[in-house]
Structures are given as C-alpha cells and as structure tokens.
Structure 1
Amino acid sequence: MSTMKVDAPEHLVPAWVTAFNSRQVPQIVALYADDATLFGTSKGPLRTGKQDIHAYFSGTSTVELIGQRVDRLGDTHALAVGTYMFQRRRNGETESVQARFTFALQRAAAGWQIIHHHSSAFPAA
C-alpha cells in the first residue's frame, strides 16, 4: 500500500476526513505509517500495521470534522486532537455519533503520517 503525501501536520486530519468520506479504504490507509496503531471508534481491539488497519475500515459512515488543535512536538512529530461527527445508517435510520480523536503524527520522507490514532464516542451526559 502506498503513502499519501501530506505537507503539514495541520492538513493531515482534513485529508483523513476526505479519504474516509470517499469510502476508498486504500486512500484512508495510505495516511498511516506502516507500523501505525489504531483504536477505532466502533470496534474494540488495537489494530497494528496497515493490513490490520485496512481490515477495520469497511463501513458506509461519513464524518464531519468539528474542530482540531495541532501541537508540534518538534520538527518531526505532532499531536492532533479534536472532535468529529459520524453519520451512519442503522436499522433504516440515520444516526449521528459525536466522537473525540487523537492522532499522533510523524514526518517521514513521504510527508506527514499517522503513527497512532485513537477515537472514542463521547460518553453519555
């Protein structure tokens, strides 16, 4: 699987949203480093590596970025945190699920990549 070129850490989460909404799993997975890890919103176990991450993304949900904050942790690492809203169909009804995320990012020769992604639904109020 290839790597997608992202030129700045601030652009990575919006690129992920675009790839996710395309429903083209290879485009999503291209944003992850080869040995990246993922704790997804809807399926429990830790996913490790592009093949395992590829197997995670199989739904028809869409996502809207609500907001993000990106902190650079030096020249080669950054942390993006924020919220997004998933829309999915369940039992014939459209359901919205607001979730929070953390993306650990690393700059590689091919551009910025996700090295860890954690996503979880907001707890009930």
Structure 2
Amino acid sequence: MGRHTYTAGAAVTTIAVLFAGTGTAQASGHQPQRPTERQIRELFDRWNAALATLDANRVADLYAPDAVLLPTVSAEIRKTRAARVDYFRHFLESKPVGRIQERVVNILNRTSAIDTGLYEFTLTDEHGHKSKVDARYTFVYKLRGGRWLIINHHSSKVPTE
C-alpha cells in the first residue's frame, strides 16, 4: 500500500461536497447509498483537518455521543464527550499532524465502515522541535442523522520490536 499525504483545506471541501446530499436522502426516507472507499478514506482528512484547528471541541464533534476512544497517549478509555474533549485539549498542545502510511478500508454496509492501518503523527513541542510517532489505528464509522460519525477509535503506538 502507498503512502498518502493529506491537506486539510482540500479535505474539508471534498468532504462537504461528497456528503452534501446524504442528509437529504435520509430525511426523505430513502436508504443512503453505500459509501465508496474514497469517501471513507476522506473521513480521516476531515478528522486531520479538525486537529489542525487546535480546537478540541471541533475534533470531538466528529465522534458520536456514545463513541469510545482508546487514545494513543493516554491509558484512559474516553467514553464521554467531556473525556474526549479533555484528551484532545492536551493532545492538541503538540500540534499533531497525521499522515496515513498504510490502510485497509472495509465498507460493512450502507451506514457503517472501518478504516484501519498505520499512521504517523508529527508533533511540535513548545520550543518548535518536531518529533514523529508511529501508531496503529482503527476508526469505526457510522452514518447517523445523515452524518458520518466516529463510533470507535483505537490508536496505539507501534511496538518497537
């Protein structure tokens, strides 16, 4: 699998265009169309763009109210919005920028999909020094109320051995 680099601005625009009609289909009683692999891949771009805002609430908005987050740099399972906001408030202090290294997308049905693989974060400390963290991830997405939300997100550092 190839390496992918994502830009935040283009991702937000692309996501808005791709999902603009989804809410209408739901509201009119029609079944949503099965998402494409590209649409699911671009949900990471949306999440990465939210990280770039450095606003923990904007990132938390991408998670369902009942979502579970097993974060990269915390041992605490985050099961509430407040807990997820708390985690991201601290995580965003390092100005993370994610980049997918390898992934597998599984579209389960019209309203759920899994994106799992390896990603790398570039972190910047308060002195401007950059470091890299390689991690494994799994995002489980569910279409709710016409919007793709994260219902489960697991991220852990890649073992060194």
Fold match by TM threshold 0.5:
yes
Larger relative contact order (C-alpha < 8 A, sep ≥ 6)?
Answer: 1
Residue identity matched to 2:149: Q
* C-alpha distance after superposition, 1:63-106 (max 9, x if no partner): 23224332111111110112221122458542211111001110
- Conservation of the 8 A alpha-carbon contact between 1:85 and 1:97: yes
**Alpha-carbon separation, structure 2, partners of 1:49 and 1:9:** 24
Offset of residue 54 of structure 1: 0.6
Aligned residue pair count? 122
Partner of 2:46: 15
Moved over 3 A (4+): 89-93
Q: Are 1:31 and 2:66 counterparts?
A: no
2: CA distance, partners of 1:87 / 1:21? 12
Separation in structure 2 between the aligned mates of residue 16 and residue 54 of structure 1, nearest angstrom: 14
Structure 2 residue 68 is matched with structure 1 residue 40: no
> Structure 2 unaligned runs (5+)?
1-15, 20-38
Separation in 2 of the partners of 1:89 and 1:113?
28
From the two aligned structures, give the one with the greater strand fraction. 1
Tell me the TM-score normalised to structure 1 length: 0.85
Paired position in structure 1 for 2:94:
60
Query: In 1, are the aligned partners of 2:96 and 2:124 still within 8 Å (CA)?
Result: no
The alignment partner of 2:47 has SS state of helix
Identity of aligned residues (%): 29
Q: Does residue 98 of the first structure (1) align with residue 129 of the second (2)?
A: no
Higher mean alpha-carbon deviation, 56-65 vs 108-117, is at 56-65
Equivalent residue for 1:83?
118
Structure 2 residue matching 1:87: 3-state secondary structure: strand
The amino acid that maps onto 2:120 is M
* Unaligned segments of structure 1, at least 5 residues: none
| C-alpha deviation, 1:10, in angstroms | 2.8
| More deviation, 105-114/59-68 | 59-68
